[in-house]
Chains A and B, each alone.
Chain A
Amino acid sequence: MNYYFLPRHPVFETAVTLANFSPVDAVGRERQHIYLAWTDGTRWIIEAMGDLGAGESRNFTSKNLPQTVPADRACFFFFFPKLLPATLNKLPTDPMMETAPAWRGNIQFRSPTTRTSYQGEYPSAMLKLKKQSLVSISPMIQGGDDIGMHFLLANLCETPEQHPRTLKFAAARDRKVVLEATVYTNAVSLVDISAIAPLRNELFCTVSSDITGVPLYLAFDVGGTQLSLEHTHPPTELFAFSRQPQVPVKRMKSWWLQQVKS
């Protein structure tokens, strides 16, 4: 099963679209319950958000969340066929709705006049990762007088604790840290990276030795007339048909984590 995160943003409204139809199968899915989960730091709070019939889809926005959800809290939506209690100590990670390509949702940022989105999911297999790390290599840094640049990291764990973790940002060429930021587990953390825009013609890396997740790059112009959002691939996507893709990735990540220094 997959989770679909709804980020919170200080300027832009956010939305997530959930679809109860497969990207490839001809057969529709059965009716599913939709749940929203957020953490209070010690428990997962579970809100039932209604049902979705086979073939249906629905938008949920940051403006229309239940009033019980704190304004700064990221929300994680998921489908589940059974009724769930109001609190959980662990999020479910049942094998269901697994398709190739993955069963995705649309995660969107909205200004009053335009929108940007990506098709994404947070696989439940990632909730159980004990040792977490991140290496995101990106050319997607934009800048200029009228352009803002935010980095977002979505992280989700099985248990609800929110721990601080460290992200380091550097140009790939010299690996010298130009920005360090604290992010949190079980959150969609936002880091304003507009100040590093002078490095926009450089390949850029974002690393962490103690958190993983989905790294997102959000760019916007003043007034929000145009927005851009995309994530970086995990390193395993850079090569195909390997019999043991994790072996070189482990070595590659280890090098980047050691080399990016203050």
Chain B
Amino acid sequence: MTNEVLLRTRNALADRLRSALGVRPPRWNRPWSMHATISDLFPWRGGTEWDTKFDVMNLSSVLMPDAPAAEDVNFVLFDDFGHQLREERFSLDPFSMRELKISDFTPAAGQGTFACFHALNLQCTPEFSGGHLTERNYVSYRNLGSMSLLWSYVHGNTYALSRRDAARMHSIAGRPTSEVIYRPQLRFDDCLRFELVFSNTTSRELVVRVKAFDDAHKLIKQKVATVPASGMVVIAFDNADGGIATVENEGRHFMWRPVLFKHYQTGFDVLHS
């Protein structure tokens, strides 16, 4: 175990040195603690227009079903400025899930991010060979203006924060040496309006620049926003004339894949890009 601790510390230190020195910086820094678990930083939307739901699963019984155990879960809610609003701890029975509605946790208005950490130490199980449990499962949204009772699902898409028990949360996002461009591989000219939601998984404020192009790849609109650490922004484009075909975003963040909302006549689509 001592060798494993030394190896872990060395790896975590090496990742951060590479990031700081700009020498082939990794996309993600391995957590400092062997016992840490990892969460995505999911966007939530509330207020009079939206509700957000997160279905928390007992992950240890999914991954290690032959030794099912109750699992302690730590749910942390941030506002869009990255300020922590609330923290909840609860236990989940084996093979169970719990539905968390954000409207049950927050005031009526607002938007922000959340993270969810499962207290499962994979290091106790050698077959996971240095792995950390990650929560990047399924969040769903409902537009309250719609008559539909349906929730629209999207899964998490990155590793954002690590935490060991009640200790401080750490960003594990790597730091690129320059701005990185990301291009969602889809078209936007089929919807009336669309939004790109950027969560900032790093520990510092970032600027995101979104460029919108027509079908001939001519730049027709550009928007810039500042995203606080652990916070989020929603960048919206009207597209009733179908003029915007594709978009790209640029920022000091590896693989800054926004969650996309595309709005149609009666419903919306949410997907990770």
Q: B265 CB to closest chain A CB, in angstroms?
A: 4
Q: Cβ of B127 and Cβ of A248 under 8 Å apart?
A: yes
Measured CA separation A21–B182 after assembly (Å): 11
Q: Cβ of B246 and Cβ of A57 under 8 Å apart?
A: yes
| A15 and chain B: residue at smallest CB distance | B190
Q: Cβ of A247 and Cβ of B269 under 8 Å apart?
A: no
Measured CA separation A104–B182 after assembly (Å): 13
Collect the chain B residues with CB atoms within 8 Å of residue A105's CB: 185-186
Collect the chain B residues with CB atoms within 8 Å of residue A127's CB: none
Q: Cβ of A230 and Cβ of B155 under 8 Å apart?
A: yes
Q: Cβ of A221 and Cβ of B149 under 8 Å apart?
A: yes
A114 at the interface (CB under 8 A from B): yes
Q: Cβ of A118 and Cβ of B271 under 8 Å apart?
A: yes
Collect the chain B residues with CB atoms within 8 Å of residue A202's CB: 96-97
Measured CA separation A17–B185 after assembly (Å): 8
Contact of B65 (CB < 8 Å), options: A147, A232, A242, A252? A252
Q: B208 CB to closest chain A CB, in angstroms?
A: 15
B212 at the interface (CB under 8 A from A): no
| A54 and chain B: residue at smallest CB distance | B217
Q: Which of B123-157 contact A (CB under 8 A)?
A: 125, 127-134, 136-138, 140, 143, 146-155
B272 at the interface (CB under 8 A from A): yes
Q: Cβ of B64 and Cβ of A252 under 8 Å apart?
A: yes
A238 at the interface (CB under 8 A from B): yes
Measured CA separation A146–B149 after assembly (Å): 9
* A225 with B255, Cβ < 8 A, contacts A23-B182, A113-B266, A139-B55 known: no
Measured CA separation A172–B65 after assembly (Å): 10
Measured CA separation A137–B269 after assembly (Å): 22
Q: Which of A193-234 contact B (CB under 8 A)?
A: 201-203, 217, 219-221, 225-233
> Which of A116, A220, A256 has the most chain B CB atoms inside 10 A of its CB?
A116
Q: B88 CB to closest chain A CB, in angstroms?
A: 18
Measured CA separation A240–B133 after assembly (Å): 7
Q: Cβ of B153 and Cβ of A240 under 8 Å apart?
A: no
Chain A residues with a Cβ closer than 8 Å to the other chain, count = 68
A89 at the interface (CB under 8 A from B): no
Q: Cβ of B150 and Cβ of A219 under 8 Å apart?
A: yes
Q: Which of A7-49 contact B (CB under 8 A)?
A: 17, 19, 21-24, 26
Collect the chain A residues with CB atoms within 8 Å of residue B150's CB: 142, 147, 219-221, 226-228
Collect the chain B residues with CB atoms within 8 Å of residue A57's CB: 185-187, 245-246
Q: A85 CB to closest chain B CB, in angstroms?
A: 28
What are the interface flags for A121-143 relative to B under an 8 Å C-beta threshold, 1 for contact and 0 otherwise? 00000000000000001111010
What are the interface flags for B235-272 relative to A under an 8 Å C-beta threshold, 1 for contact and 0 otherwise? 00000000001100000000101000010111111011
B104 at the interface (CB under 8 A from A): no
* A227 with B267, Cβ < 8 A, contacts A24-B181, A147-B149, A221-B148 known: yes
Contact of B255 (CB < 8 Å), options: A101, A117, A201, A238? A101
Measured CA separation A106–B153 after assembly (Å): 16
Measured CA separation A35–B268 after assembly (Å): 30
A70 at the interface (CB under 8 A from B): no
Q: Cβ of A240 and Cβ of B147 under 8 Å apart?
A: no
Measured CA separation A147–B99 after assembly (Å): 19
Q: Cβ of A241 and Cβ of B131 under 8 Å apart?
A: yes
* A114 with B185, Cβ < 8 A, contacts A140-B153, A173-B95, A248-B128 known: no
Q: A247 CB to closest chain B CB, in angstroms?
A: 5
A92 at the interface (CB under 8 A from B): no
Contact of B154 (CB < 8 Å), options: A230, A240, A242? A230
Q: Which of B30-46 contact A (CB under 8 A)?
A: 30-31, 38
| A147 and chain B: residue at smallest CB distance | B150
A166 at the interface (CB under 8 A from B): no
| B162 and chain A: residue at smallest CB distance | A240
B residues near A (Cβ < 8 Å) are: 28, 30-31, 38, 55, 57-59, 61-66, 95-97, 99, 122, 125, 127-134, 136-138, 140, 143, 146-155, 159, 180-187, 190-191, 217, 245-246, 255, 257, 262, 264-269, 271-273
Give me 17 other A-B pairs in contact (C-beta within 8 A), A226-B148, A239-B134, A240-B159 excluded: A23-B182, A113-B266, A114-B266, A115-B269, A116-B269, A117-B186, A119-B185, A119-B273, A137-B57, A139-B57, A140-B140, A140-B153, A173-B95, A219-B151, A228-B140, A239-B133, A244-B129
10 CB < 8 A contacts A-B: A21-B185, A23-B183, A55-B217, A101-B257, A201-B97, A221-B150, A228-B152, A247-B128, A252-B62, A259-B65
